[in-house]
Amino acid sequence: MLEDSRNIVDVCVVGAGHAGCEAALACARLGLETVIFTVSIDSIALMPCNPNIGGTSKGHLVRELDALGGEMGKNIDKTFIQSKMLNLSKGPAVHSLRAQADKAEYSRAMRKVLENQEHLTIKQAEVCELLWEEIPSDQNERPDDSGSGKKKIVGIKTFTGMIYECRAVVLCTGTYLRARCLCGESITYTGPNGLQAANHLTDSLKKLGIEMRRFKTGTPARMDKRSIDFSKMEEQFGDERIVPFSFSTDPESIQKEQASCWLTYTNERTHEIIRSNLDRSPIYAGIIEGTGPRYCPSIEDKVVKFAEKEKHQVFLEPEGLHTNEMYVGGMSSSLPEDVQVAMYRTVPGLEHCKIVRNAYAIEYDCIDARQLKPSLEFRRIEGLFSGGQFNGSSGYEEAAGQGFVAGVNAAMFLLHRDPLIMDRSESYIGVLIDDLITKDNREPYRMMTSRAEYRLLLRQDNADLRLRKKGYEIGLVTEEQYQALLRKEKQIKEETERLKNTKVGANREIQSFLEEMGSTPLKTAASLAELICRPELDYEKIAVIDQNRKTLPRDVIEQVEIEIKYEGYISRQLKQVEQFKKMEKKKIPESLDYDEVPSLRLEARQKLKLFRPVSVGQASRISGVTPADVSVLLVFLEHYKSMGK
């Protein structure tokens, strides 16, 4: 190679989907020269499936990402066309924000951010090979189980033969590796939306000793809006008061007119057509090799697995303000086109629908994420990090959260700083990563509120209070943003204390107010906080008897009310977290030889050697490691420590 054509950078990010964008921005914003590679610049931050960001539990991920200094929340605030807070009839732990995006605008806006980011270069090229070296044995802390030493990344090579020398690589390949799309008997060897697949990198990864898997996902058809009869559907509106995803977005700046979505249902005729054509479905004909997502099944799976159901929900969602394409949520499929037409036309409102893009399933290569450290660096490959659907997860939000962590930790590795590692008690992102790296996920992983043990503490509304400081310490949250957080914390604390210390007596005025509100009269004096705890009362309702109240921001009031109303439950979870933290703090040395641990069962020994957990807490969550094994490990670690090892 000519000397002046050498490319020397700090970080190479492979893939420019939601994970890749967050990874590249994090590295560049931390001052590292970064190149982000994509098979098509037109696919930057592409939404190949549903046209929305957020949703149950996923909204938590986006708000946490924003609190840490990520970009997704800011971008959807700029490009949404409808916004809705889900699960408001339930407790605050499961409230989740969800916004319909203008897909083209979302991608365009994110691309603009990347193009104007200092230290970041966008390159349209297919990365086909990772370049690496063996780490000399005298520099290895511990050989791997095969007896060989660790490797380190030194660069990448593109399909055109260009080499980029770098010290870290972040893999965010999404659904592009050896991708193929299936629509009945028709198979096209492309990535999503007919974009070029990445067909060469898998072989290089296998040579590095990385264990690969084959997963699948799918997407429904897109309809021409003009061919849909909306009068036969239920109109779905956005919230009257729009709540932003980003803590940096001024709520008043995003109040606007919103687009509508529409609800309809499948019926027995729909199901009959599907059942009679299952032999033509690649899923049931054995053509598809990969495992699909359990919690986002195709319409074929729904009809087969929930045969007793007479109907399934179907949501018609606009793809944007400047297109007639409508997304048919709830009816992803890989059936042949003629079956799709017949099937969709049985749905009320779609009797005369015209398909713009067929539904299809897509298969792709990904990894067993148990090969990763909590930092998302490969255990045996120094400088190689991984994020997004390549790790075996599903969803834009899961991808973005992992991409951010992988990017930050690639930067921390190069800057010789401690990695960003969040545990299960701190964030949904922590739960997501811990589940991926400790559990045998045989299908695309989807985040759900039920996966978080401490979900009352990990609410979407307090993501900034939980994580903003971490983002500030990393260097991705500004001084101004951090000072705003400190002011908010101070206001919450002062107002909570004021309400607890302000007493009202059982006088006529108070009793009359309580009677009017349908609340039990007072027998003795009570604090305003005690009144707020009553189910029929809240912060706003007691305003008439709260003479010294100051005007406070909505987000401060929200925190004050939740902390007061759920104080007992929150205290209980905080105690549970204390016990959890004790186990997490019991670190396991990287050099520990599990063959030296007596009385450890063979299965546990094998699993611990394979996963190399960083703490006893993480070891306890590995499938095949029992509480008895953990007790044996704890005893041995005490002995190990006393021996000065």
Residues 531 and 424 in one domain: no
Residues 65 and 187 in one domain: yes
Average pLDDT, the chain: 93
Residue 274, in any domain of the structure: no
CATH number at 605 reads 1.10.150.570
Residue 341, in any domain of the structure: no
- Paired with 297 in beta bridges are none
Nearest residue to 29 (alpha-carbon basis) of 415, 382, 398, 428: 415
- Per-residue pLDDT for 644 more than 90? no
> C-alpha angle with apex 47: 16 to 190, nearest 5 degrees?
70
Burial state string for 393-424 with b = 16 or more CB within 10 A and e = fewer than 16: bbbbbbbbbbbbbbbbbbbbbbeeeebbbbbb
Residues 485 and 552 in one domain: yes
What's the one-letter identity of residue 443? Answer: E
In degrees and rounded to multiples of 5, residue 40 shows phi and psi of: -150, 125
Residue 427, in any domain of the structure: yes
Domain boundary among 424, 442, 474: 474
Report helix, strand or coil for 478: coil
Domain boundary among 452, 474, 496: 474
Nearest residue to 35 (alpha-carbon basis) of 130, 133, 156, 151: 156
Q: How far is CA 110 from the centre of its chain?
A: 17
For the stretch 386-428, pLDDT in tens is 999 999 999 999 999 999 999 999 999 999 999 999 999 999 9
Spatial CB neighbours of 416, under 8 Å, sequence gap ≥ 6:
none
- Paired with 164 in beta bridges are 7, 156
In this prediction, residues 235-240 reach a mean pLDDT of 97
Tokens 């050498």 correspond to: 6
pLDDT in the model for residue 41: 95
In degrees and rounded to multiples of 5, residue 37 shows phi and psi of: -100, 140
- Per-residue pLDDT for 5 more than 70? no
pLDDT in the model for residue 145: 47
DSSP assignment, residue 450?
G
Question: 44: which 2 tokens?
Answer: 């930057």
Residues 494 and 632 in one domain: no
Per DSSP bridges, beta strands 163-165 and 7-8 are parallel
Element (H, E) at 97: strand 96-101
Residues 403 and 486 in one domain: no
How many distinct structural domains can be found in the chain?
3
Residues 193 and 142 in one domain: yes
CATH number at 38 reads 3.50.50.60
For the stretch 107-131, pLDDT in tens is 999 999 999 999 999 999 999 999 9
Residue 293, in any domain of the structure: no
Residues 446 and 395 in one domain: yes
Residue 295, in any domain of the structure: no
pLDDT in the model for residue 146: 43
Burial state string for 574-611 with b = 16 or more CB within 10 A and e = fewer than 16: eeebeebeebbebebeeebebeebeebeeebbebbebb
What percent of the chain has a predicted confidence (pLDDT) above 90? 85
Cα–Cα distance for residue pair 107/47, rounded to 1 Å: 8
Residues 42 and 76 in one domain: yes
**Helix, strand, coil abundance in the chain, percent, nearest 5:** 40, 20, 40
In this prediction, residues 525-554 reach a mean pLDDT of 95
- Paired with 132 in beta bridges are 153
Instruction: Report how far apart, in Å, the C-alpha atoms of 211 and of each of 208, 367, 376, 491 are.
Output: 9, 6, 15, 50
Residue 258, in any domain of the structure: no
Report helix, strand or coil for 629: helix
Range of the domain at 87: 3-219+364-474
Residues 22 and 164 in one domain: yes
- Asked if residue 139 lies in contact with residue 107, where contact means CB atoms within 8 angstroms, the answer is no
Alpha-carbon radius of gyration of the chain = 27
Number of CB atoms found within 10 A of residue 638's CB: 11
DSSP for 538-567, please give it.
-TTGGGGG-TTPPP--HHHHHHHHHHHHTH
pLDDT in the model for residue 63: 98
Per DSSP bridges, beta strands 212-219 and 360-367 are antiparallel
CATH number at 487 reads 1.10.10.1800
Residues 607 and 513 in one domain: no
Residues 43 and 157 in one domain: yes
What percent of the chain has a predicted confidence (pLDDT) above 70? 96
Cα–Cα distance for residue pair 394/167, rounded to 1 Å: 28
Domain boundary among 453, 474, 495: 474
- Per-residue pLDDT for 193 more than 80? yes
Helix axes 72-79, 396-414, angle to 10 degrees: 140
Residues 600 and 521 in one domain: no
DSSP for 428-442, please give it.
HHHHHHHHHHHS---
What is the rounded (10 degree) CA torsion for 566, 568, 572, 574? 60
Residue 166, in any domain of the structure: yes
Cα–Cα distance for residue pair 293/361, rounded to 1 Å: 11
For the stretch 473-505, pLDDT in tens is 999 999 999 999 999 999 999 999 999 999 999
Residue 74, in any domain of the structure: yes
